[in-house]
Structure 1
Amino acid sequence: MTEPDQPAFSREEPPLPLLYRDAMMLVIDKPAGLPSHRGPQAKRQVIPVLTDHLDAFRFGLPRRPEAAHRLDKDTSGCLVLGRHPRAMAELNQLFRDGRIGKTYWAIVEGGPDDETGLIDLPLARRSPERGWWMKVDPDGLPSQTRYRVLGRASGLAWLALEPLTGRTHQLRVHCAASGWPMFGDEIYGSAARDEGPGLQLHARSIAVPLYSKREPIRVEAPPPPHMQEALRRCGWREAF
């Protein structure tokens, strides 16, 4: 959303949904399937990546914004962009200090017995050959995820997940290791590669305490189309 006192610099619709804008940062709604950067797979297949779209988000500034954090390719939702170097430095420090609140929605197979809880399992890389793939490892880095059940259906549960640490694939590995892998997860779950509904993980909301004398900026992203059927089965309604 554009703040009322800020002029629009272009009448063209941005290539990705814009959820928030001010002088320091933007929050966009990243679609599932869009890589954040041009890694080896994107180079081989010449597929679009997030950085291909960022010039359209300058809104009159001389340089394009940059992503202040990452979302996995198959994760949708709130992604924060810093609009200039000073903004990036402040946002990066907030992320490093763990001061930015993040809540994800996930559909999992089965589900926890308790309505709320904390997953406390250290994580490490599975092997050098597997790149970013992770595993639970007693000698790994401390990793914690808080969860809350928002709804249930036959064989599924709808969770709100709050990562207290920021390890690669943390939410996916924590859910799988707890006995309820994410629906549509072809790495840590039961989904067949290139089949099924796609990974059911969405960065639902973010809270950024960017300005010391103001309340944190809170932004929500609507659930993506590929998750809505399972969400409805679990009790979600569009006004939720």
Structure 2
Amino acid sequence: MLNPMPKTFSYRPPTDPWLDILHEDADIVVFNKPSGLLSVPGKDPALFDSLQSRALERFPGAGTIHRLDKDTSGIIVMARHKGAHGHIGKQFEYRQTTKFYIARVWGHVAEDEGLVDLPLATDWENKPRQEVNHARGRASQTRWEVIGREDGATRLKLIPITGRTHQLRVHMKEIGHPILGDEFYATGEALAAADRLQLHAAELGFRHPSGGEPVVFRSEPPF
């Protein structure tokens, strides 16, 4: 049984560094987003501080193409003009990007690799949580590979084939190995095992909007 959703939301985004820039050129900026920072501002003014709002201070006109959950860290690319936004946005839409995440999950995963194929939908009574729902869920697939086994935990490479909200987090919970420190989907020892969600967007590849050459950006997980 998952913990009840909290009735209040305390937002204390990290401020050091203010922006972690992996790459910048005339078309794009690639950031390493820290855990705890929203990708885009929330509706409440108290949730204005975000990667997007910070990026706009330094790169006027920068546009968000894709997002990471607040508690997920790792690579995000932003476009510096409309043409770049459309070029990269279509690659995300048609699943032409390449990406993988690193996660530490609870317990010892017995197999070395596998595929989770479970449809996901919003859990309306516990929004923003998602749930496996075979009646109204959207097709969702995640490939996983074991990188290493630790004492009570397993380090995985997660490759999302689809890009549903909380997909990796729900899929890991459903196979009995919730991501450590996941306040939405882990409980007990799995929740207490880390002081943050142990999920990091470690690699992102796409065709550069100027010339179409493949580019790949990487970021080592901080856990």
**TM-score interval, normalised by the smaller of the two chains:** 0.7 to 0.9
Distance 2:188 2:68 in 1: 20
**Map of 1:33 onto structure 2:** 36
* CA displacement at 1:214 relative to structure 2: 5.4
Distance 1:155 1:86 in 2: 47
Q: Which runs of 5+ in 1 are unaligned?
A: 1-13, 228-240
TM (normalized to structure 1)? 0.78
Match of 2:129 among 112, 119, 133: 133
Aligned residue identity for 1:132: P
Distance 1:119 1:154 in 2: 24
Q: Is the alpha carbon distance of 1:151 and 1:30 closer, same or farther for their aligned partners in structure 2, counting shifts above 3 Å?
A: same
**Map of 1:51 onto structure 2:** 52
TM (normalized to structure 2)? 0.84
Match of 1:164 among 161, 165, 175: 161
* CA displacement at 1:24 relative to structure 2: 1.7
Aligned residue identity for 1:199: L
Match of 1:24 among 22, 27, 38: 27
Q: Deviation per CA, 1:88-143, whole angstroms, max 9, x where unpaired?
A: 1111111000111111000000142111111111111111x433210011121000
* CA displacement at 1:17 relative to structure 2: 1.3
Distance 1:169 1:32 in 2: 15
Alpha carbons 2:84, 2:209 under 8 Å: kept: no
| Sequence identity percentage | 39
Distance 1:18 1:101 in 2: 20
* CA displacement at 1:47 relative to structure 2: 6.1
Q: Does 1:95 align with 2:92?
A: yes
Alpha carbons 1:182, 1:200 under 8 Å: kept: yes
Q: Does 1:117 align with 2:114?
A: yes
Alpha carbons 1:161, 1:171 under 8 Å: kept: yes
Q: Report the 3-state secondary structure (helix = DSSP H, G, I; strand = E; otherwise coil) of the residue aligned with 2:204.
A: strand
Distance 2:129 2:119 in 1: 14
Q: CA RMSD in A?
A: 2.1
Match of 1:208 among 206, 209, 217: 206
Q: Is the alpha carbon distance of 1:197 and 1:95 closer, same or farther for their aligned partners in structure 2, counting shifts above 3 Å?
A: same
Q: Which runs of 5+ in 2 are unaligned?
A: 1-16
**Map of 2:151 onto structure 1:** 154
* CA displacement at 1:210 relative to structure 2: 2.9
Aligned residue identity for 1:50: L
Q: How many residues align?
A: 204
